[in-house]
């Protein structure tokens, strides 16, 4: 990439997006960063307060579902790079109402791809459309094995189906229109400033307030947990070194059963609150399992490790300690 870049980040007021925007501004002062976000319930501009002092940063409220809006945005800006994170992302919400997920994750992605294609045309040198996605598009694993870049798609929820569709559209624009793309699929992110609908912040909040700690099914569903700052470091490396048209999987090497995550959070949070060890265990409440609940996710990081020398630096224990400390200080 050339030194000076005009970068559009969609969803930059979301959890991962905010950490990415801050990293770009810190590490690349020659980049002009435009943060486009609709500011839905899961967005939080206060996470970007530190960015307001940067002269190369601008925030714009807008909706990727509105193609005319995107046409106007692209007509007044010449973007070199699109980093697309804007998405509806909560599986439970997608089960209750799948329509916003298709409209944002599928139609919104298509709108963005088409606006990008129309602006760039055949002038694609030093241009890049980077699509950030999830490992949930691959469906579920049994007790063994890991997802790789060659894993077949097998989405099981309206959320993962919408993200799978968006992935396919991005690749279709590469093959059909020669749009320069990169794509990465990540495992479950966690860290400070995540919305309370997600498991880890929800459990922390409920421990503090001595409320029920809901655990789906028998609690044995397993996820690979990736600390958000490790994730955006990997995105940074892929952004600058990835091979056009390729896909990269980013995982945390932290496979944990949901019940073990809850027990770990109880231990850390009770300790930080000065409560007797394990006193919050009585709050655990096993609830009816989520429909179509994927049993296990796990990612093989070999490709990003070999090509970029990346590995997750944050242990699950230290990441949880930082995360709990953040929420206790709100």
Task: Count Cα atoms within 13 angstroms, Cβ side, for 1.
Answer: 23
DSSP state for residue 51 in the 8-state scheme: G
Measured torsion, CA atoms of residues 121, 235, 51, 127, in degrees rounded to the nearest 10? -20
**Which of the following is catalytic: 63, 80, 136, 167?**
136
Residues 283 and 207: beta-carbon distance below 8 Å: yes
Q: Distance (Å, rounded) from C-alpha 179 to C-alpha 129?
A: 8
Terminal Cα-to-Cα distance of the chain (whole angstroms): 39
Residue 5 pLDDT:
95
Domains by residue range for the chain, with CATH: 5-192+225-254+298-313 (3.40.50.720)
Identify which of 310, 179, 287 has the alpha carbon closest to the alpha carbon of residue 237.
Answer: 310
Is 136 catalytic? The answer is yes
**CA-based Rg of the chain, rounded to a whole angstrom?**
20
**Which of the following is catalytic: 63, 88, 135, 253?**
135
Ordered DSSP codes for 178-221: ---EEEEEE-EEE-TT--TTSHHHHHHHHHHTT--EEEETTS--
Residue 3 pLDDT:
77
Residues 206 and 32: beta-carbon distance below 8 Å: no
* Helical ranges in 90-198 per DSSP H: 91-96, 99-101, 109-120, 158-177
Residue 251 pLDDT:
98
Residue 330 pLDDT:
86
Q: Is 2 helix (H, G, I), strand (E, B) or coil?
A: coil
Q: Which residue pairs, CB below 8 angstroms and at least 24 apart, start in 261-265?
A: 261/199, 261/200, 261/203, 261/223, 261/225, 262/203, 262/213, 262/215, 262/219, 264/316, 264/317, 264/320, 265/200, 265/203, 265/204, 265/207, 265/320, 265/324
Is 159 catalytic? The answer is yes
DSSP state for residue 128 in the 8-state scheme: E
**Number of neighbouring beta carbons within 10 Å of residue 26:** 11
Residue 160 pLDDT:
98
Walk across the sheet containing 188-190 and list its strands. Answer: 188-190, 222-227, 255-257
Residues of the chain with pLDDT below 70 are 1-2
**Which of the following is catalytic: 28, 31, 57, 159?**
159
């Amino acid at each position: 990439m050339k030194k000076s870049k005009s970068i559009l980040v969609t969803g930059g007021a979301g959890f991962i997006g905010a950490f990415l925007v801050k990293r770009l501004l810190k590490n690349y002062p020659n980049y002009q960063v435009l943060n486009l976000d609709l500011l839905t319930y899961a967005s939080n501009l206060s996470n970007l307060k530190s960015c307001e002092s940067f002269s190369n940063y601008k925030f714009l409220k807008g909706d990727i579902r509105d193609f005319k809006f995107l046409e106007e945005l692209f007509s007044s800006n010449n973007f070199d790079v699109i980093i697309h994170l804007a998405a509806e992302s909560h599986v439970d919400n997608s089960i209750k109402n799948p329509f916003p997920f298709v409209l944002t994750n599928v139609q919104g992605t298509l709108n963005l791809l088409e606006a990008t294609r129309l602006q760039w045309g055949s002038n694609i040198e030093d241009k890049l459309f980077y699509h950030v996605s999830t490992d949930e598009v691959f469906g579920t694993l049994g007790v063994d094995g890991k997802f790789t870049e060659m894993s077949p798609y097998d989405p099981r929820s309206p959320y993962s189906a919408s993200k799978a569709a968006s992935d396919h559209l991005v690749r279709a624009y590469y093959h059909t229109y020669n749009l320069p793309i990169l794509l990465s699929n990540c495992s479950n992110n966690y860290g400070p400033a995540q919305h309370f609908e997600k498991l880890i912040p929800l459990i922390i909040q409920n421990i503090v307030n001595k409320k029920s700690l809901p655990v789906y099914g028998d609690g044995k569903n397993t996820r690979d947990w990736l600390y958000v700052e490790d994730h955006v470091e990997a995105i940074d490396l892929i952004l600058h070194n990835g091979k056009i048209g390729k896909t990269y999987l980013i995982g945390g090497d932290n496979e944990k059963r949901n019940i073990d995550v809850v027990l770990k959070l109880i231990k850390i949070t009770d300790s930080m609150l000065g409560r007797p060890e394990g006193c919050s265990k009585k709050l655990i409440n096993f609830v009816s399992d989520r429909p179509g609940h994927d049993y296990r996710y796990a990612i093989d990081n070999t490709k990003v490790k070999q090509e970029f020398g990346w590995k997750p630096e944050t242990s699950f224990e230290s990441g949880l300690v930082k995360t709990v400390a953040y929420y206790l200080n709100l």
